[in-house]
Structure 1
Amino acid sequence: SWKATLPVADAQAITRELLLTANDRLVDTELAPVRRDFQPPADGQLAVRNVVVILMESFAGRYVGALGSADGITPNFDRLAGEGLLFERFFANGTHTHQGMFASMACFPNLPGFEYLMQTPEGGHRFSGLPQLLGARAFDDVYVYNGDFAWDNQAGFFGNQGMKRFVGRNDYVNPVVSDPTWGVSDQDMFTRAAEELGKLDNGAPFYALLQTLSNHTPYALPEQLPVAAVEGHGALDQHLTAMRYSDWALGQFFDKVRNQPWFKQTLFVVVGDHGFGAPEEVTEMDLLRFHVPLLLIAPGVTERFGSRREVVGTQVDVVPTIMGRLGGEVRHQCWGRDLLSLPADDPGFGIVKPSGSDQTVALIRGDRVLVQPKEQPARLYRYRLGGEPAGERIAAAEDQPQLLRQLHAYLQTATASLLANTSGDRSGEGESEAVAAEVPLAVKAAPPARPDKG
């Protein structure tokens, strides 16, 4: 299994080699495994002051037109992809929403044994994520969501990370949809988000997390759908109809805010929280459950970086990639990298784990994936995404032992850092340990899970 223990110094050295680039300088090496000062390249900064992260529920890359699907599910996203930078080989770190939340915003991976991080005492630690890093720069914030912030301890976790304003399902007046179990619809969420972002535009820079929910069972959709229902995909028809509706609501949001004064000062980051199973199962890891789009829209982004990137990334790369566009040195301990300041020959990497009791882990690098089931030999595959996804077993590769050591080292080092509470962005650990003792009551109270985790 992955838990085969490497010497601590070796595991740290391998992990640092994976994560550090020419723009990073390690600090506090005796205290923290990967804390570093990151100096983004000056030519990578964009003329933006605000950040809006849009976490799209179940937005599977397999059914995104801009990523190769011919099913016509995401015409609005495809149109938006035409004006931004789209990452083609981007993956969720897990297969449930709460993992997508903490990986994307707190910059910490989905680890075996800690996938419910937001609901555990360890979730009370401070992480070197967007709330910490932008809070330190005096950004205002808002988190707008269709559902209940008690689910998965979202309010407790993100409040502890430093977010201050939360707009959830009980804060909507006369929503188009109000499901007693679930919440309001995506169009309600995006309408409210447009209002909230307008209010935030009052002098200080701001960041926001907008999270959709309609594309999740039991699918909170309006009775009169503004899109055609999807047919011809059997058991997936309802799911894909909800995805098409979410895509429509996303397009409506951009149409609504495009002419606002703050729009051209804002970096938009549109990312899926996870995918879902499709008829094609790419390796026993089922990569299509992880493959999601990552789209950056901002003034100057395509002129500087182009419109497509094949580098592999996962949600833990979101925060460093955002910080690189804002510019200025930042001290952080993200478990990912700025995807836009890597050497041209770097294929990228990502480490993923499915939700639930399955302890399988995988390392994705370039067009290959090393799958490590628990207590079984690892298997290496070449994979293909897009309209005709597939996986092909590679019988023998010279670098397979090295890939396996990298996978084990990263998981071992991140787990040790979590347990020792050394994953914050502070220069010393005494303060970090004091925070650990103040785990919010919401964490201790075992907050409710969403009605159907996913």
Structure 2
Amino acid sequence: MKRLDRLLTRGDWIYLASLLVPLVVYNLVLKVVRIVTRPDPPGFLGFLDQVRSDLLFNLGFAALWIGVFAVVRGGWPRRAVLILFHLAVVVVVILTTSAHFFYTTTGSTLDLSFVLVSISSIGEIQGAIGSETTTLHWALVSVILFYTLAGPALLTRLFTGTWDPQPDAPGSPGRAPLTVGLAAVLLFSLSVVPSVTNAGNAFARDPLANMVVNEVATTEVEANVSPESLPTDTSLSPTPETEKRNVVLVFLESTRAESTTAYNDEIDTTPFLDELSEESLMAERAHAVVPHTSKALVATACGVPPPLDTQKTESEPGIIPARCLPELLEEQGYNSAFFQSATETFERRPQLVDNFGYGHFQAIEDMSKTGYQRVNYFGFEDEIMLKPSRAWLEENADDGPFMTTYLTVTPHHNYVVPQRYGTKKYSSDPELNRYLNTVRYQDFFLEKLFDQYKDLGLYEDTIFVILGDHGEGFGEHGLKQHDNTIYQEGLHIPLLVHDPKNPEPRRVEENVNELDVLPTVADMLGYRVEGGDYPGFSLLSPPEDRRLVASCYHERTCLASIDGDKKYIYSYGNRGEEYYDLSEDPEEKKNLIEEQGDKKIEDLRDDLLAWEARVTDSYEQQRPQEETTE
């Protein structure tokens, strides 16, 4: 007891304990909730292993501040320490709480880069936060913040009779602070020791420890992409087969293939899309490159992999290492327009659309909302685009060929179903049922859009490309929504090309992805691409032997390769490596990684990391080089 009194006064111990003890308990309770609510809760030893990191990290945090208070014992430095202590606790509470609700909502762990991006664009995510919180949540947050800021001083006053936790600090603490500091370092270090269970290191680690590890534990792979190999100087060259027909791209938000009738005849969500597929070229095994909308737009419109980050790099002027389809077609006399039923500024969409080369961009801010229902925190039901589309077409269609693009939003989380067509019962899971009904609504919009082109006499002279931007997860592999859903429910998307002049049904059995849309459109219009090569292939002649690559949206979270029916997933050590045979196991339930040779998996892993490095380098080369002066 005397040693403790020498380290800190009684007031200090009360002050620190009144904040650190509730903090440690709070963080541990959140972790326990995450553990016991997992689809596969562990046994007793697994539970101890999964809570170990959180316990050690929080004890290390407590030891750190005990050591700091012991060293800084008075004057203005002590007042500065008190302020920093409270700020640190507030930051820890905010981050651990955010990580907890992010995990319970999406099944993914939170990384620091995404936190920083979210802070820098708080206006974009405040709607998402609002959709997941209630008045009770905010009341609890207010109580917690009040106690965090005022509670320690009130308790210290109650038990010691003074507001100052250390009015007198006689003597020196000796070597005790050093010992406590070393203990803090040891506890922090032990908190990042990998898990020995199969829970996955990212989940098993304390949320803050995991953020740090993800930032520092990077796998550096060298990549030197030749500027000449990038399709930055391409153009479309007419041929005798060239026919300047209109082009329409329709992106179906968060639409996974298995939730559409065209790909799953056991569900009647999309009868129009199904009917259309009987007169279209349809890719049976189409995949997203990155399961995130802005990334999908880059891959599709520009024919190259998007930047593999959360920084919205793709919206920087001139950053895309390719010439995109709207720009290529503009040189051939095409007008172009991009419509979305989402808010204008979400993820810097105007800048992104401008990067693609579209001549006209219109979002809900410039659309009449009368009679249309808001369906989520950043958009309205998709039929809101029909009137602006008709107006633009009536004004511009007679001026020559055009390219239009429509980005829907209704099936996006939080799956609010527009009421104009009612609802149907598809699933006993309320959230999944709402989602499937939003997909059903989207099919009505698609049919009305086609009717519009028929009414205006534009249908026969137009090529339509309809595809999902990405899929959507509903806990099939512990993941929800899409950003990090690297399994087939997140990657397998519908992809149809409908040509009214050639309504013969055709099925593409080979693996394809969004990179193939640009070459397909050029091929169907009869143009030859000159001045460079895009990595995709025309769906009219896809290669049989081909390996597709995909990435999670969050950096250093996961990569996947699909070669025929074999799929490999690498998760940077955050969880175990995975290998599936999709022909025998389409739902990816049986991990065959242990049956594969070490050299085979090492080669697959190296190929994925090399691809990631090449994609990153291709964007770095587009950044303006800083001028140097001697």
* TM-score by shorter chain over 0.5: yes
Rounded Cα–Cα distance in structure 2 between residues aligned with 1:385 and 1:215 = 30
CA contact (8 A) 1:36 1:333 kept: no
- Pick from 420, 434, 458 the counterpart of residue 238 of structure 1: 434
Q: Shift of the alpha carbon at 1:391?
A: 4.8
Residue 255 of structure 2: aligned partner: 59
Q: Distance in 2 between matches of 1:181 and 1:172?
A: 17
1:414 equivalent to 2:611? Answer no
Q: Which of 340, 356, 363 is the aligned partner of 1:145?
A: 340
The change in CA–CA distance for 1:416 and 1:164 in structure 2 (over 3 A counts) is same
Distance 2:461 2:555 in 1: 43
Letter of the structure 1 residue corresponding to residue 620 of structure 2 = L
Q: Distance in 1 between matches of 2:498 and 2:239?
A: 19
Whether the aligned pair in 1 keeps the contact of 2:321 and 2:619 (CA below 8 Å) is no
- Structure-2 change in CA distance of 1:134 and 1:42 (3 Å): closer
Please state whether the residue corresponding to 1:339 is helix, strand or coil.
coil
CA 1:279–1:302 in 2, change beyond 3 Å: closer, same or farther? farther
The answer to whether structure 1 residue 68 and structure 2 residue 264 are counterparts is yes
Query: Partner amino acid for 2:568?
Result: L
Q: Which among 276, 293, 309 is matched to residue 472 of structure 2?
A: 276
User: Which residue in 2 is equivalent to 1:330?
Assistant: 529
Change (3 A) 1:159 1:40: closer
Question: What SS does the aligned partner of 1:54 have?
Answer: strand
Letter in 2 for 1:250: L
Change (3 A) 1:164 1:296: same
**Using a 3 Å threshold, how does the CA distance of structure 1 residues 188 and 262 change in structure 2: closer, same or farther?**
same
Matched pairs, number: 400
Q: Percent identity?
A: 22
The code of the aligned residue for 1:340 comes to L
Distance 1:7 1:118, change over 3 A: closer
Q: Which amino acid aligns with 2:356?
A: Q
* Alpha carbons 1:368, 1:381 under 8 Å: kept: yes
TM-score if structure 2 supplies the norm length? 0.57
Deviation at 1:260, TM superposition (A): 3.6
Q: Does 1:362 align with 2:563?
A: no
Distance 2:283 2:242 in 1: 18
- In 2: Cα distance, 1:369 partner to 1:117 partner: 28
Q: Is the 8 A contact 2:308 2:615 kept in 1?
A: no
1:31 pairs, out of 213, 221, 228, with 228
Unaligned runs of 5+ in 1: 13-28, 423-432, 438-454
Alignment of 1:109-188 (within 5 A): 109-113=305-309, 116-119=312-315, 121=316, 124-125=319-320, 127-179=322-374, 181-188=377-384
Name 1:98's counterpart in structure 2. 294
Return the alpha-carbon distance in structure 1 between the equivalents of residues 523 and 512 of structure 2: 15
> Against the structure 1 CA distance between its residues 257 and 89, is the aligned structure 2 distance closer, same or farther, given a 3 Å change threshold?
same
The answer (yes or no) to whether the contact 1:59–1:292 under 8 Å persists in 2 is yes
Once the two structures are overlaid, the 10-residue window that deviates more, 124-133 or 243-252, is: 124-133
CA change 1:372–1:353 in 2 (3 A) is: same
Task: Give the aligned partner of residue 519 of structure 2.
Answer: 320
CA distance in 1, matches of 2:499, 2:467: 15
Deviation at 1:262, TM superposition (A): 1.9
SS of the residue aligned with 1:132? Answer: helix
Counterpart Cα distance in 1 of 2:237 and 2:229: 21
Superposition pairs of residues 168-317 of structure 1, within 5 angstroms: 168-179=363-374, 181-219=377-415, 221-228=417-424, 230-278=426-474, 280-281=476-477, 285-301=486-502, 303=504, 306-317=505-516
| Equivalent position SS for 2:612 | helix
The 3 A distance-change label for structure 1 pair 246 and 396 is same
The letter for the 2-side match of 1:362 is A
CA shift, 1:267, in A, is 0.9
CA distance in 1, matches of 2:502, 2:584: 25
Q: C-alpha root-mean-square deviation of aligned residues, in Å? A: 3.5
- Consecutive unaligned residues of structure 2, counting only runs of 5 or more, are 1-216, 480-484
Larger Rg: 2
Contact 1:118 1:154 (C-alpha < 8 Å) held by counterparts = no
C-alpha distance in structure 2 between counterparts of 1:320 and 1:128, whole Å: 12
Counterparts of 1:280 and 1:286 in 2: how far apart (Å)? 9
For CA contacts below 8 A with separation 6 or more, give which structure has more relative contact order. 1
Shift of 1:275: 0.8
Contact 1:108–1:127, Cα closer than 8 Å, also in 2: yes
